[in-house]
Chain A
């Protein structure tokens, strides 16, 4: 049984910039769970595509109910394999990642900047719960990935990446709300003063 999830994200950068940032996206303030990063294989194909395999170690605490089904050494850290193909002629980058620690239980992958995931699981009776958990974590990890990506891109482009676009938007909304509140207070105090006149 396989659950399918797909979503599109938009990065405000050129394809070249995104590709360069892809290799340098760790560390960033949203990647504290990524402990190590290594290239295991890398080659330029005869068709001029760059193919790479990267190994990442992440802290990954599975929920308690799931830990029972995992070997002990897998409980605290997870090994992730990330395969990728960069095609500079077609200007595409395709990546596929999966967790080799929990491979028997859960196989999440995503491809391209438009990313997609297939989370499959074969454990009888737990399938649905594991899929739901995998999906929720996947969605959450995309948000983190994109925030991290925005941060690294901004930094490369010489901006001060103190805030990501999303956070700036939130901040702006907060400022507007605050200004409205101040204005309301101001009006209220005026109204009060008028009463005393």
Chain B
């Protein structure tokens, strides 16, 4: 099946920072295309979305600080340490 159909599904979500939504959508579109066309196919020729991501991050990190959202202090996959042995 063609990935062209996949990433053309473009109803996108808002950002937590109202002012960041346009930047977020621009980044999402770039990422979804790269993820389906390059990353999943094993193409490691570089990430074309670095610049849009940087702009979007500058905006969203500021919004998170302003809204006082407690995102700091948790390691990546952090709470998994509590996972019981099964």
Q: Tell whether A and B belong to one assembly.
A: yes
In angstroms, Cα B61 to Cα A36, docked, is 14
A120 at the interface (CB under 8 A from B): yes
Nearest CB in chain A to that of B49: its residue: A42
Shortest CB–CB separation between residue A60 and chain B, in angstroms? Answer: 14
Query: Which residues on B sit within 8 Å (CB–CB) of A26?
Result: 13
| A55 close to B71 (CB less than 8 A) | yes
Bound CA–CA A107/B78 (angstroms): 11
* Measured CA separation A101–B5 after assembly (Å): 37
In the complex, are the beta carbons of A38 and B60 less than 8 A apart? yes
Cβ of A4 and Cβ of B13 under 8 Å apart?
no
Also in contact, A36 and B15, with CB within 8 A (given A2-B82, A53-B76): yes
Q: A55-B69, A88-B42, A118-B82 are in contact. Are A20 and B1 (CB under 8 A)?
A: no
| Known A20-B40, A79-B69, A83-B76; contact A50-B60, beta-carbon cutoff 8 A | no
* Residues of chain B from 1 to 35 with CB closer than 8 A to chain A in the complex: 1, 3, 5-7, 9, 11, 13-17, 20, 24, 27-28, 31-32, 35
Given the complex, which residues of A lie within 8 Å of B79, measured CB to CB? 96, 98, 107, 109
Checking B13, B32, B84 against A118 with a beta-carbon cut-off of 8 angstroms, the contacting residue is B84
Q: Is the CB of A37 within 8 A of B84?
A: no
**Given the complex of chains A and B, what is the CA–CA distance between A36 and B25 in angstroms?**
12
- The reply to whether B13 and A88 contact each other, CB–CB distance below 8 Å, is no
B82 and A24 form a contact (CB under 8 A): no
Nearest CB of A to B79, in Å: 5
Residues of B within 8 A of A155 (CB): 9
> Shortest Cβ distance from B83 into chain A, in angstroms?
6
Q: Are A23 and B13 in contact (CB under 8 A)?
A: no
Question: CB-CB contacts of B56-67 with A at 8 A, as 1s and 0s?
Answer: 100011001000
CA distance A86 to B49 in the complex (A): 18
Write the A45-80 contact mask toward B (1 if CB under 8 angstroms, else 0): 000101101010100000000000000000000010
List 23 contacting pairs A-B, 8 Å CB cutoff, sorted by A: A2-B82, A4-B84, A4-B86, A17-B6, A19-B40, A36-B13, A37-B15, A38-B60, A39-B24, A39-B27, A42-B53, A44-B47, A48-B44, A50-B35, A55-B64, A55-B71, A83-B78, A85-B77, A88-B39, A118-B83, A152-B9, A156-B5, A156-B9
Q: Tell me the A residues contacting B by CB distance below 8 Å.
A: 2, 4, 6, 16-17, 19-21, 23-24, 26-27, 34-42, 44, 48, 50-51, 53, 55, 57, 79, 81, 83, 85-86, 88, 94, 96, 98, 100-101, 103, 107, 109, 111, 116, 118, 120, 152, 155-158
Q: Which B positions have Cβ atoms within 8 angstroms of A?
A: 1, 3, 5-7, 9, 11, 13-17, 20, 24, 27-28, 31-32, 35-36, 39-40, 42, 44, 47, 53, 56, 60-61, 64, 69-71, 74, 76-80, 82-84, 86
